[in-house]
A and B are shown apart, each in its own frame.
Chain A
Amino acid sequence: MDGTRTRRSLGLAGRINLVVVMTLVLGLGLVAWLFAASLTSARESIVDRNLQHESDILYLSIENFMMPGEAPIAARFFSEVAGLGSGYRLGLYRRNGEEAFSDNATINTVNANVGRIRFQPRSATVAPSSMGIPERPLLERATSIPPESVFFMWKEGGKTYKRVYRPLLNLPKCTACHGSDHTIRGVIDLRADISDTLRAETVTVAASASGFALMSIALAAIIGRLLRAVVVDPVLAIGRLCLDVTGGDFSGRVDVERNDEIGGLASTVNGMVEGLRERYELTKYVSVGTISSLASGQDARRVERTLLFTDVRGFTSYTEKHGAEAILAVLNRLLDNQAQIIVGCGGDIDKFVGDEVVAVFSGDDAPVRACDAASKIRAAVSAGADLYDSLAVGIGISTGQVVQGMVGSSRRADFTVLGDAVNIASRLCALAKPGQILLCDCTRDRLPSGAFPIDGPYKARLKGKAERQTVYIMTESPAAGGKKEAGDEA
């Protein structure tokens, strides 16, 4: 372990899909939950209401049997209703939890209250069954003051019941037989088997949840695909275009024709790439020095530079003999080749003046690179004589202090160099014969010994200079040195 953690980031498409899926799962999950809850609530409401109505009917039935003193009929009625079906159970409990109609306790109480044998005690009785412990709190709740019907779920024998404890009041008209010392006589215990209903409800909820899940997946896929088409793909296309631009390819464009934010972004990026392309194209016409000066400021400064001038020899007479298209074709090939060599040697094309190239080299090894460029230009032009209709160039190189800065008007200016070294390079170029490279002594002095085959020194009269100047000739092969008159060679 090097302690470096790589964290995989989720892409835009992944994030959008994640948000979509989470939204759908939460949204549809909430809907599914509400559906299940409302289904359960509706079922419970219906079951409870039915139980309440049934217990009301039973209550009134018992009350109406009891009042005329027909308790045995009430007991038989109760017994028969309890046996109506397997899914339906019925019980009657005293408030102490003992099952009613099972012993002589109530009969004895009634007989005592009315002061006579109103009902004959049962000859055979069974011990009253009592409620189980879990039911006691519910019984107490149902028989508290004020009493209330208590509904609850109950599981027994693998079945699920909905039960209700319906309190039986000791009404004033009941007190003659049952006494006035209590308010609640007991409860009706009515239970309905809802196992099948619950099973059907579970199946319905499961089917609905599955449907919602499938719908979530389908919607996520559709929305994800839609978002991919509407958002992700255009963004990815914009990203690819930016990568192309970074690699120098300005030809691409994002094809998004829409009147929305993405369309606006694509249009802006296309405009930006077009602007970058135009600026890139501009570098062909404007020197690197000009461009860099725009970036770094336009203050003039005095610096040492090596100037390289080339000029096509006999070009004026060539133009008189050839058509314009042929002239431009040959000239452009010639200038392009020279420009490539100069740039390859670290030089900056300052300007093209007709068939003349003006290049500037900077840095400590500027004279070496300028001479290297000149040598390569001469070799290239010589080797490509067929391409250039046997035209040749003369080359002048000078090194010295120059003033570098913006020259021109506020509307049109060049970042160029001025000074004696520029003039000398220009004069040397003018003096050079076809295929000849002339160097000033300042350049020669800055070349490592033996780096180039140099012949000279020679003395040459340059226009604008009162004194004859020391000049060297870079030959194509090493030559014996010796002081000569420039007029002999140059």
Chain B
Amino acid sequence: MSNLETSIATTGHEAPATKGGSVAGYIDDRLASSNFTKRLLDKVFPDHWSFMLGEIALYSFIILLLSGTYLTLWFNPSMTEVIYNGSYTPLKGIKMSEAYSSTLHISFDVRGGLLMRQIHHWAALFFVAAVSVHLLRVFFTGAFRKPREINWVIGTLLLVLAILEGFAGYSLPDDLLSGTGLRIAEGIVQAIPLLGTYVAMFLFGGEFPGTDFIPRLYSIHILLIPGILLGLVTVHLIMVFYQKHTQFPGPGRTESNVVGFRLFPIYMAKAGGFFFVVFGITTLIAALVTINPVWLYGPYTPSQVTAGSQPDWYIGWLDGAVRLTPNWETNILGHTISWNLLIPALVIPGIMFTALGLYPWIEAWATGDKREHHLLDRPRNVPTRTGLGVMSLVFYMILVISGGNDIIAVAFNLSINQITWTLRILLFVLPPLSFVLTKRACLGLQRRDNDKLLHGYETGQILRLPSGEFLEIHEPITDAEKAVILAKQDFAPLALESGEDANGVRNPKAAKSAARARLSAWFYSDTIPVPTDEELQHAAEHAAHELHEAQAQAKQIEGSSH
């Protein structure tokens, strides 16, 4: 090696000792990335099973990108009619679109094609499910609070897009079931006041079904929505990373630290391994459990339908809402307003997703809480929020069940009319009821927590005193348990701004303040205070005393019996 080469190779830095070091050096020479990389490798994430829900969503999304790319190699998004001549004999010689025929080709003539189709479909079902359950976790633990409101909104957008993307993919094979779904979607679009028929004509290139829609939907499904999803997922993750993950209360956990394990090597192995677990399980399910057997449904034709038509689960609530809404329609001045479609398909989803997206600000307005939160709430400690969450979930579940009212009718041999009416009533009765019950249950749990703090837990050891009295021995709970229970914070409702100031001038903000104070009082109604340090100390002394007394008595009994 000449002197010149040596001097170039070592410019500025010592030659690294390891291979990894030389790679890092090569990159750092170009990006000055060492500082970032170190922080990345050392970054600590807290550990909890519920933090894996978002991971499942992310991994399902990656599986969807991989399997979807594979499918595009064979799928032909065309509505041109062809005569099927593949190896699935029951449909041989039947007229169908190229989209459907290429789906059959993937399913029967491409080795591994059916596997990839089923991986793609199962992963889509898991994706929306994981996003939804992840959302519930974030909601019930208050992880959406400041400073994470923006990420909550991104998450809400991701959910909406995931549902749309799922529906688009479900519609592409152009089988009888998916075509029926599109027909329903087109009927709903037609119901939009003023613009409905125009939007429908433009979307479908004329009347339904036309020949333009599948190719158009294809580019939306494989490019537009996944592109937006990918961008939003990236921002979502960067924000989680930058703001650091929230953690559950426990010993050593505070608002200003993160307790857990480092990214490298623990989460590299655990989270990286978990991707393979999710992928592996999805693949095994796809190998063994048939999903969306389009060959059984036949090609789409607008004059046929299968009884018991069901959409994928995440569309079920919309379908259920459409089924439950009574047949309201208004005709004024030669124009038709189809309330029977506008309410379930546009108004209800609009309200639901707007309320969902805005919830962090609604709650902050009610609580007046402007502080940062990195310690998660236990759901019981915020009864009103938990009640609202369960209420919304019950509302949603009734809609999902309504989407299967015909299946219920057939399975239990009941009248479809009675089921529909029952569900209509339950939709308004059960959610408020579940709010009240959930809130009561939360308050009950809080009281039990306070009991545990003040009186310890019941050991199950019963002592009979000479006087005949029975006594159960209570033992104090562990510090770990105390740390969890004592993480609850007391809040007071916002005070009402006075209607007049000191000089008797009317305060213009008073009305708004009164509304806010009422909301705040409602949000914090029935608060159960955390025991104060004095109460805890007093209780500890009392418990020690009681235990001592009991032990003394026990000794006495032992002594006298000998």
A binds B: no
